[in-house]
Amino acid sequence: MSDEPSLKKTPLHDLHVQLGAKMVSFAGYAMPVQFPPGIKAEHLHTRRAAGLFDVSHMGQASIAGDGAAAALESVIPVNIVDLEPGRQRYGFLTNDAGGIRDDLMVTRRENDFLVVLNAACKEEDLAWLDEAIGGRCRIERLDDRALIALQGPAAVDAVSRLAPEIAGLKFMDAGWFDLAGASCYVSRSGYTGEDGVEISVPADAADALARTLLAFDEVSPIGLGARDSLRLEAGLCLYGHDIDAATTPVEAALTWAIQKVRRRGGARAGGFPGEAVILDQLDNGAERRRVGIRPLGRAPVREGAELVDASGEPAGAVTSGGFGPTVDAPVAMGYVSVRHAASGTRLLARVRNREIEVEVTSPVFVETHYAR
């Protein structure tokens, strides 16, 4: 990279440099891909203790007003109206073809909804939201806030030393807490498959909070490299790779995020972009499906690899792949035709000039540890 003048910097940039991070360009930001221990060590540390991630490059916005819930339901095919204050929900913006414009987290607070968007999509998302629903609610960018994730089995114990009430949160609960003198909005959620929290903190207080957390013995800084391998083992999608504007929620095996109230027969069925395609696929299925892919050797199978059946006929493609340090084996996910989607199906992945035997599995390769 690395510190190109054109790249934006998060409030934790100087801390990353002081800690010896290898900085790379990601979504227009200078971001740490790894720290001196390396990606594998950071990955394993998060699984057994607590890892601190800088995700301040992601977009945060407040959506408020009497019509905010209904407005959000007109662009997101999940149940927003019935979301209780202090509760968070995963969702996605859809387009007219039923594809996923972006995936996001929505939290209902006392007087607004907090929306967290992907870094690479946030500018386009916010412009589109303003055009689509800006006349029905107030949309405010929260550029003055940073976002820190603390993940792993020791994460909640660590942050609870600063605010003991955080320990009482359950998975997808959220609330306001004072952390190291700053007013922070904390949700018990994350992107690793582990228990943990995500902390929206004033940008000018982010460095002090991160240093306070890193002073705990069990907390270590973690870069984007381990963040990617952690989410891949947990079967979590990466926008622009595993899901995109040409992928529907049904194809992506994300139907669990569309509650009954938004489906056919529900009290608020449809009413979102692409409803005809998505509702039809919910009833009748899609022609392809996102699955886990387990290479039957030690060689990893990476994004873009073609999948074929035993006769050489196309079966699908890999969208994410690499080595899983927790399972000590290569792991991947991708899309296959429904006739090849049953767990245990054997396929061949074409990698350069050879074919690697793989098996279709669940996309979740590790046991998840959410605080239900």
3-state secondary structure of 148: strand
Region 292-312: mean pLDDT is 97
DSSP letter assigned to residue 138: E
Burial (Cβ within 10 Å: 0-12, 13-18, ≥19) of residue 267: exposed
| Rounded Cα–Cα distance for residues 66 and 151 (Å) | 35
- Parse the chain into domains and list their residue ranges: 8-58+144-233, 287-372
Give me 359's structure tokens: 């098996």
DSSP secondary structure code for residue 260 in this structure = G
**How far, in Å, CA of 295 to CA of 8, rounded?**
38
State pLDDT tens for residues 180-215: 999 999 999 999 999 999 999 999 999 999 999 999
**Is CATH 3.40.190.10 correct for 287-372?**
no
User: For strand 8-9 and strand 29-34, is the pairing parallel, antiparallel, or unpaired?
Assistant: parallel
pLDDT digits (tens, 9 = 90+) for 329-339: 999 999 999 99
219, pLDDT greater than 60: yes
* CA separation for the pair 222, 51 (Å, rounded): 6
- Convert the pLDDT of each residue in 256-288 to its tens digit: 999 999 999 999 999 999 999 999 999 999 999
| Residue matched to tokens 């690499």 | 322
Which tens digit of pLDDT belongs to each residue from 89-142?
999 999 999 999 999 999 999 999 999 999 999 999 999 999 999 999 999 999
Buried-exposed string 329-338: b where 16+ CB fall within 10 A, e elsewhere: bbbbbbbbbe
The dihedrals phi and psi of 268, each to the nearest 5 degrees, come to -130, 50
Residue 308 has pLDDT above 80, yes or no: yes
Give the model's pLDDT for residue 1: 47
pLDDT for 3 equals 53
Handedness of CA 61, 276, 318, 192 (dihedral sign): positive
Average pLDDT over residues 341-368: 97
User: What's the topology of domain 8-58+144-233?
Assistant: Gyrase A; domain 2 (3.30.1360)
- Whole-angstrom distance, CA of residue 197 vs CA of residue 155: 7
Confidence of residue 353 (pLDDT cuts 50, 70, 90): confident
- CB 341 within 8 Å of CB 291: yes
Q: CB count, 10 Å around CB of 301?
A: 24
Residue 304: pLDDT over 50: yes
DSSP 21: P
Task: State the Cα–Cα distance between residues 332 and 238, nearest whole angstrom.
Answer: 12
Closest-CA residue to 352 (of 293, 287, 306): 306
pTM: 0.96
